[in-house]
Structure 1
């Protein structure tokens, strides 16, 4: 890749992470930034930086025409979207390629197909991947939802056909709830994704959230095993582990093989993730969605496999065949990641932008971050500061190292979510792995987190 240039159309810690991967391949790094991000770490690390507009909200990073023109004018060979913003936008991928550059990710057609959850569900069924009982396609209103519920029964989940991040989702326990919540979900989905389409699935009680990391080159795909992401607040993941301790060898082989089948069936190129609900009582998996991008939690997979996922997706984007064979990929130990946000857990996780003071992290612990001492965090963007990642020979050792790392980590000048994780890393149910996707919300109602 030496002599090639990569335009990073994102910000924060993922921009720093992509910078590191690109440099490992000998590439020139060109960093996009808003006016508010002129002093961010990713800009400081880049070979060149290009301003793409004003700081207000996220508009600069969401302006397809502006971002593509900035990348084209910079002379970049390729554009990496990171995650969030335009990462799963088919129009953006198509515009990058129309401008004569390489889009580091799947094709626009794949993004569009798998970004529509109803179409993705149909693709999963066609590939023999298990799905929860539910509507065969989109539902247009209350009457169609009632027809589905008459077959599968309550409780059900109403879900947005487009988008993600937990928006446009409602749990429905009765017909009265159905009548009340369908309009709410449609309005939220339309506002968030520009698409008010919905579908219905049977609610899976006591579910674990398991996802499989895949890499593909458009014809062949491999899996890099799975992660568990059951610790969630407001349907947002906060703590991730690899491998999933709730799975045995047979279940792991089953869900990973299904993921590869679906990735190959849709001609997937790059790094992506297939998300499942695992129902322990039935030993059953249900496909939820495919994320057609690199994910926040990718470091735990890198820690147990030794594979640089970002570098691999860049190589594949430039036309290299997949360099990994399934039999070469093995699990080494256990890894845990916690998401460190600029939020005050003692005040209902109120955002806490400010000026970063001294940063201390223990040696031997991975901290993927956008921070440096003296950095003023802009108030316009997501509160994610970085991820603290530990690795051990097994889960018990990883948990022990996490407790030690949290005790030794200091981020001056800010309130962060570190105290939350210090408490969770000592909780008996977390230590025993006895959690599900609803567990953390219930735990937070019973526990007061003191600010650091």
Structure 2
């Protein structure tokens, strides 16, 4: 394996290419018209335009990407995350074309790509699961019967999806028909599959996920847990590792469960097993993400692994060079997704030109991004600008380092989630570790940030006034009583 095509864009494409170069390999970038001068394109050894801005005409055009791969003699395709990364049909086409797909097998992707198939697969391994049904339904009356049996509230979930799409919480039977129709419609629009199922809604859960790495020789390890409970619209904004509520015994138990999930589908490559954890620290299998996660960086910070390098090594048939006992938790890492979204306006996308873009630097600070000053945040793609990651010896140190890094991060031209990050990391619930996936619902309002900004402005005004007065004292001439030269000048 000498040349790898990265079938993605932005920060993840650039991050993958850095590891490719570190390993002494060559990289190929693909790009749309609007990404012609993007950092990942300029960094790659070769780059090819694959179409116009809309992703279905460029980054989702699997046939075109495979054709470019063949034309340039690339040995493998790394899909990153998003776009084609969990598309089993694309992975199969890549393999059929004699090209290495850097990721799991198409079979494993198909199983874990369907929540219903995944639940069936892991059900033979004594892994805790949320009470519910294991088949798709569309009949409202059947849904009501199931909900009556397991108890309200219940959660309607799209079988084929993720990211909160096709998901509805139902509090009572009279709401079931409307919420079923909405969930099915949204699932069809987002995934082309309207299949939904019903399960018990865990009202105040923690979202805990476990990194797994598996080679083609049956060796599987877990890279500890990540806490991903700070979310908006069921999508993660803040991730950290280790979780503040985890004990060594619970870590071993949930890690073993994650390994069993990987074994259940003969998984290879890196992947993430997601769990819900209730207030009594009972955990339930949620789903498996058959790709590299956005938040993989925090796991890298505390394990010392390069997960992209491990993916590439596994894809070219190498055994894991380490065991579970070799991995040790080293300190604490936190990630904030810096997105072009306006936290003062329901986190709606904020499109525009990055008039100012200056990143924080320093020991224990990592910024994975794909933007430079003067670039435009496009309406065509995900609004994430960067991942801001920090590492500290303790959780408290990491939080303080994150707050300092946010202050140093200067972005002008678009609204971002940086102020929201400050709100989270300064909040007592986060600092003490007493939070769940309802953090935003419980504590956050745009007014909270506005009040904080007003307070900061008032402090800045006082500091500015004090500085001005101090400077005035320094430049004012001192009156000499013996000569009174100042008074004479005044005359």
TM-score (structure 1 length as normaliser): 0.96
Equivalent in the alignment of 2:396:
396
CA distance in 2, matches of 1:84, 1:449: 31
1:395-438 CA-to-partner distances (Å, cap 9, x unmatched) read 11111111111122212433221111112111111111111111
Equivalent in the alignment of 2:353:
355
Which of residues 285, 291, 302 is equivalent to 1:304? 302
CA distance in 2, matches of 1:192, 1:57: 14
Gaps of 5+ in 1: none
Deviation at 1:79, TM superposition (A): 0.2
Equivalent in the alignment of 2:20:
22
CA distance in 2, matches of 1:202, 1:81: 34
1:143-202 CA-to-partner distances (Å, cap 9, x unmatched) read 332232232111110100002111000101111111221111111111111111111111
Deviation at 1:140, TM superposition (A): 3.5
Q: Please tell me whether residue 372 in structure 1 is matched to residue 358 in structure 2.
A: no
User: For structure 1, which segment, 120-129 or 270-279, has the greater mean C-alpha deviation from structure 2 after superposition?
Assistant: 120-129
1:343-388 CA-to-partner distances (Å, cap 9, x unmatched) read 2222333322333324131312100111222223322111101111
Equivalent in the alignment of 2:33:
35
Q: Please tell me whether residue 84 in structure 1 is matched to residue 82 in structure 2.
A: yes
Equivalent in the alignment of 2:489:
none
CA distance in 1, matches of 2:115, 2:157: 9
Q: Please tell me whether residue 116 in structure 1 is matched to residue 114 in structure 2.
A: yes
| RMSD (CA atoms) | 1.5
Residue pair 1:159, 1:170 contacting (<8 A) in 2 also = yes
1:250-280 CA-to-partner distances (Å, cap 9, x unmatched) read 1111110011111122111111000000012
Deviation at 1:449, TM superposition (A): 2.6
Residue pair 1:58, 1:381 contacting (<8 A) in 2 also = no
Q: Please tell me whether residue 250 in structure 1 is matched to residue 256 in structure 2.
A: no
Equivalent in the alignment of 2:272:
273
Q: Please tell me whether residue 212 in structure 1 is matched to residue 210 in structure 2.
A: yes
Structure 1's 347 and 280: CA in aligned 2 closer, same or farther, altered over 3 A? Answer: closer
CA distance in 2, matches of 1:292, 1:373: 33
Q: Please tell me whether residue 150 in structure 1 is matched to residue 148 in structure 2.
A: yes
Question: SS state of the match for residue 33, structure 1?
Answer: strand
Structure 1's 97 and 202: CA in aligned 2 closer, same or farther, altered over 3 A? Answer: same
Which of residues 58, 66, 69 is equivalent to 1:68? 66
Equivalent in the alignment of 2:189:
191
CA distance in 2, matches of 1:345, 1:31: 33
CA distance in 2, matches of 1:346, 1:58: 31
The structure with more radius of gyration: 2
Q: Please tell me whether residue 336 in structure 1 is matched to residue 341 in structure 2.
A: no
Residue pair 1:79, 1:101 contacting (<8 A) in 2 also = yes
TM-score (structure 2 length as normaliser): 0.89
User: For structure 1, which segment, 353-362 or 131-140, has the greater mean C-alpha deviation from structure 2 after superposition?
Assistant: 353-362
Q: Please tell me whether residue 443 in structure 1 is matched to residue 453 in structure 2.
A: no
Residue pair 2:138, 2:180 contacting (<8 A) in 1 also = no
Question: SS state of the match for residue 135, structure 2?
Answer: coil
Q: Please tell me whether residue 325 in structure 1 is matched to residue 339 in structure 2.
A: no
Deviation at 1:36, TM superposition (A): 1.0
User: For structure 1, which segment, 440-449 or 369-378, has the greater mean C-alpha deviation from structure 2 after superposition?
Assistant: 440-449
Which of residues 175, 185, 195 is equivalent to 2:173? 175
Deviation at 1:220, TM superposition (A): 2.1
Aligned residue pairs total 449
Question: SS state of the match for residue 128, structure 2?
Answer: coil
CA distance in 2, matches of 1:180, 1:140: 12
CA distance in 2, matches of 1:41, 1:287: 38
Deviation at 1:58, TM superposition (A): 4.6
Residue pair 1:220, 1:264 contacting (<8 A) in 2 also = no
CA distance in 2, matches of 1:117, 1:133: 14
Residue pair 2:343, 2:446 contacting (<8 A) in 1 also = no
CA distance in 1, matches of 2:273, 2:60: 25
